[in-house]
Amino acid sequence: MKKIILLPVILAIIILILIGFLIFYKTPQSVSQTPPIKEGIVVNSPIENQEISSPLKITGYVNGQGWSGFEGQVGTVTLLDYKGNELAAVLKATTDWTQLPTQFEADLEFTAANSGPVTLLFKNENASGLPENSKEFSLQVTAKQEKKPETMEISVFFNNNNLDPEISCNKVFEVKRTIPKTGGIARAAIEELLKGPTQQEIKSGYYTNINSGVKLNNISIQKTNSPSALVDFDDKLELGVGGSCKVGAIRAQITQTLKQFLSIENVIISINGRTEDILQP
């Protein structure tokens, strides 16, 4: 009797399972689809009203309707800020420019003095030069104001015969430089010194006796009763150097540049770790 009762139950369960399988396989499953390829110009990045900062990478594609590639590029993009200033860049083709759709990218570097809306103006690659073939597309985005980096002022010292007509060699003169703020101020000052005078400073008579291309190996500060800076250069510092005047000028430039800092009273110069027999006349 129990077997007779269980048989319909088992059949019912089997039927329900079969119905479930049929429903599952007949129900359309979600299939990921790629966005349709549009005609004209499509900018993938940035998107409208997006906040942008420098450097900005622009990507997208062109696909007919007057938008196509020519000799590796597909047009130009110009950043128009709120003052009407313009910064243009070429839209470089990143796929075969003879085949549509053609992918492109561009890089723009800019300085945003203020935050606010700006416009990216795209123009097609009009090889014909005919006005009727020109196409434009604009995209409004928001520029993010860039914080100005903190700076500090230091001095470097050069010779100047206009200020020292007697050419006393070890007499050097101060030139102000503005550099990014740093904790390693002594190193930064020597690195500025090794750059030599600017073109404007040269016009004013400043010059350096330090060889071009000298590298700073290391600099350290000894905090003793008489704080000293130990500054080590590569051997290019004394390459071809001769005469007491030139040697004195080199030492004066380095010493005075470092002694501008109150924490440095003495300067010890070395070349690849050697302090003896260096910078000899």
What digits encode the pLDDT tens for the residues 28-82? 544 445 667 899 999 999 999 999 988 899 999 999 999 999 999 999 999 987 6
Class in CATH terms, 151-271: alpha beta
Mean pLDDT of 134-157: 89
Q: What is the CATH number of domain 40-143?
A: 2.60.40.2550
221 touches 215 (CB < 8 A): no
pLDDT at 150: 87
pLDDT at 193: 97
- pLDDT class for 130, splitting at 50, 70, 90? very high
pLDDT at 27: 47
pLDDT cut 70: percent of the chain above it: 85
Greater confidence (151 vs 89) lies with 151
Q: For the chain, what are the domain ranges?
A: 40-143, 151-271
Residue 161 clears pLDDT 70, i.e. is over it = yes
pLDDT in tens, 233-245: 999 999 888 788 9
- The 3-state secondary structure of the chain reads CHHHHHHHHHHHHHHHHHHHHHHHHHCCCCCCCCCCCCCEEEEEECCCCCEECCCEEEEEEEEECCECCECCEEEEEEEECCCCCEEEEEEEECCCCCCCCEEEEEEECCCCCCCEEEEEEEEECCCCCCHHHCCEEEEEEEECCCCCCCEEEEEEEEEECCCCCCCCCCCCEEEEEEEECCCCHHHHHHHHHHHCCCHHHHHCCEECCCCCCCCEEEEEEECCCCCEEEEEECHHHHCCCCCHHHHHHHHHHHHHHHHCCCCCCEEEEEECCECCCCCCC
pLDDT at 88: 76
Residue 137 clears pLDDT 60, i.e. is over it = yes
pLDDT at 2: 47
Report field, pTM of the whole predicted structure over 0.75: no
- pLDDT class for 111, splitting at 50, 70, 90? confident
Residue 120 clears pLDDT 70, i.e. is over it = yes
Residue 257 clears pLDDT 90, i.e. is over it = yes
